[in-house]
Chain A
């Protein structure tokens, strides 16, 4: 099974301000933002009161009454995005042996919204230590184990191959797709429905990021609150959403005449083994992941046309990854456009890595690099070309997309235009 290559043949995206691939790309290419004051609950007790919320109605997206009752919001996102990806791919799973098609769903924080809501009920507002099982919803177990997300997608699509959730914090969205690629390459599967979801905009999440001042307190200007690489940035903006892909082995995808969006040519992850939330400023482990991903893609640093950055908008991240790009790409880092879509759609934790893969693929499709919104005055220590404010026409055949997260995870993926590497 050596030499098997993996391509993306279908995309589904559910992002704040951009539900569906078309709307998502409009948002990015126009440089609009979807951050706003939190509406899901009263945010007034909290330090950070801004988020990128999706105006998502599960009914509109074809979910049934029981599905809606059963699934946490993050599971609903994953299923809706997976259905869009399947439809986009034109793949009929009846043509694939059921156990040769699998599912991976990345998620950093699982069914946080469901758990927060249900805890409040069974504990009677935090009053009971011995929480009351008689007030638990029947599907609480599905919130308890986020593996239910993978189960929902598998049921929805009808796959019977390997199914799992990949949960490596904020790199989950890259690692889930990277894991799926490995399953196809090593012959375990021929088709994977892979991506990530998270719906963390809930009081417990807002409180826990408040506690470490990771999220921005820029509450007076919510639309411009996510400001990666800007000198005035002071934390990330929480987001939510999902992106799912149909991944296929290259030759079989070619045979059936599928549209080949991109080849996932290289992927690697490393750990910094440094701190659960802290980053070393030198970017050493991310640089190592980038080098390994390029190596696997048989690409040189000079081949990278665009870097889709993690760009969360925390001071330590922006400097860390700027250092990592310079360390891994050398002088070429200065010639390469770098941008962070978190400036527009916020940071949806485990989901964002997959949403950023979608953005990277669409950048190749359109030969347009999305901008970093809200970037007016760059941090002097962040001295690369971050594509401020407006999208740029830019021939893009190879994209590097990276992620960095709590737990010390650093991941990198290299996407290439399939025609460039004829088999």
Chain B
């Protein structure tokens, strides 16, 4: 029999809440973390809003020797990992070192650190480039640093598929559990709110230019006109159900039950976008029918043609207004590879609390036949959830989560 991959710990670093509890209170209360950028002066740029993790000081959480060698995204990830391990009650020293691994997603690496060193190179010269540049910015750094900090020596990895990568990482964690690992720390944390990262994101052409935090990121709304980026994400402790039981875990959040991943046909092919297929594959993998799903956490691109594709896929699979849909990322911005793991965390918190958080600020466009949860949280019994994530270029991933109670 295949082993089951269950989630036993959640660590959240989000623009609207530091730690899972703060995040959940804020999210159910409709409290947004989006505001005018403070990490640099955004005045000269056409987009000026972001979801920043405010009040975070790495020195409060991490040894001082780690600070100069890490980008902000890694500092946030290390703290998120600490939270997740604490939440799961894991003392890594007590578990077999080769039985524990780390699989994270990254979308763009440590861009802020990279900007600093590129500036040293081009303004002063190569000899001014930091000895840490060789690893502080690269995509593998969060996995490497988390592994080192916690002595986790088992199978590990790093996946990069833009925003879809967060789900791909969680699915890979499940795969490693099935292959025999006891525990995988997985998810994603991204942060690239620096001028260089901002210019790169502006080039993507999907940023909202609104200056009003509550009107800037409006997926499925008639006023949808791009998204607001953010920083942060979530890390999860995913364990083999039997191994978790052996170490005395009595309460788990739920199970990673199904996964599907597809890539859109090349532009101009005339073929149908592949998101629907990803959802169908994930449901099939989970052995659940659409009618058994209690909520869908949408990717929520807030680009009209992408919203249309997603709404159509959801409607085709679940029926017209067939399932509650939500996108609490309207309160955090899109967090790169951190977005989907945060939605996975939210889905498990929804199961635990019986509350579906709202898609803040959005008025559903009449164009979409969705049961979108807007304005207020909705009380509901949530036993199974689908989380969707898409990446620039055509990446589609879906996971199915299920409570184990």
Contact = CB atoms under 8 A, between A and B. Distances in A.
B202 interface: yes
**Chain B CB within 10 Å — which of A119, A137, A209 has the most?**
A119
Contact of B144 (A107, A133, A276): A276
B45 interface: yes
Contacts of B168: 162, 164
A386 B122 CA distance: 41
B1 to A, nearest CB: 12
A145 interface: yes
A413 interface: no
A94 to B, nearest CB: 13
Contacts of A177: none
Contact of B195 (A131, A165, A169, A275): A131
A204 B133 contact: yes
B118 A272 contact: no
Contact of A45 (B126, B277, B393, B394): B126
A115 B274 CA distance: 30
Contact of A169 (B108, B115, B144): B144
A145 B123 contact: no
A168 B165 CA distance: 14
A175 interface: yes
A93 B197 CA distance: 37
What is the interface residue range for chain A against chain B? 35 or more
Contacts of A120: 118, 122
Interface string B227-268: 000000000000000000000000000000000011111110
B199 A408 contact: no
A209 B134 contact: yes
B154 A406 contact: no
Nearest to B391: A147
B171 to A, nearest CB: 9
Say whether chain B's binding surface is mostly helix, strand, loop, or mixed. Answer: mixed
A168 B101 CA distance: 13
A172 B115 CA distance: 24
Contacts, number: 281
B118 A123 contact: yes
A119 B395 CA distance: 27
A131 B155 contact: no
Nearest to B114: A115
Given A145-B107, A154-B263, A211-B131, A138 B159 contact: no
Given A110-B109, A110-B139, A407-B141, A203 B200 contact: no
B152 interface: yes
Contacts of B41: 130
A273 interface: yes
A408 B126 contact: no
B118 A274 contact: no
Nearest to A170: B140
A186 interface: yes
A127 B196 CA distance: 13
B160 A270 contact: no
B150 interface: yes
Interface residues of B, number: 92
Given A110-B139, A131-B195, A212-B134, A270 B119 contact: no
A19 B353 CA distance: 58
A166 to B, nearest CB: 6
Interface string A180-194: 001000101000000
A96 interface: no
A165 B121 CA distance: 28
Contacts of A25: none
Interface in A239-280: 268-277
Contacts of B90: none
Given A99-B277, A123-B118, A145-B108, A409 B138 contact: no
A119 B115 contact: yes
Interface string B265-289: 1110101001001000100000000
Interface of A: 45-46, 98-99, 102-103, 107-110, 115-116, 119-120, 122-123, 125-127, 129-133, 136-148, 150-151, 154-155, 158-169, 172, 175, 179, 182, 186, 188, 203-204, 206-212, 214, 268-277, 285, 288, 405-409
28 contacts: A102-B261, A108-B139, A108-B140, A115-B118, A126-B118, A126-B122, A129-B40, A130-B41, A132-B199, A139-B203, A140-B200, A144-B108, A144-B111, A147-B107, A147-B161, A147-B395, A158-B269, A160-B274, A164-B165, A179-B159, A182-B175, A188-B261, A204-B121, A208-B117, A212-B134, A271-B148, A406-B140, A407-B147
Interface of B: 40-41, 44-46, 69, 97-98, 101-102, 106-109, 111, 114-115, 117-127, 129-131, 133-135, 138-141, 143-145, 147-148, 150-162, 164-165, 168, 172, 175, 178-179, 192, 195-205, 261-267, 269, 271, 274, 277, 281, 391-395
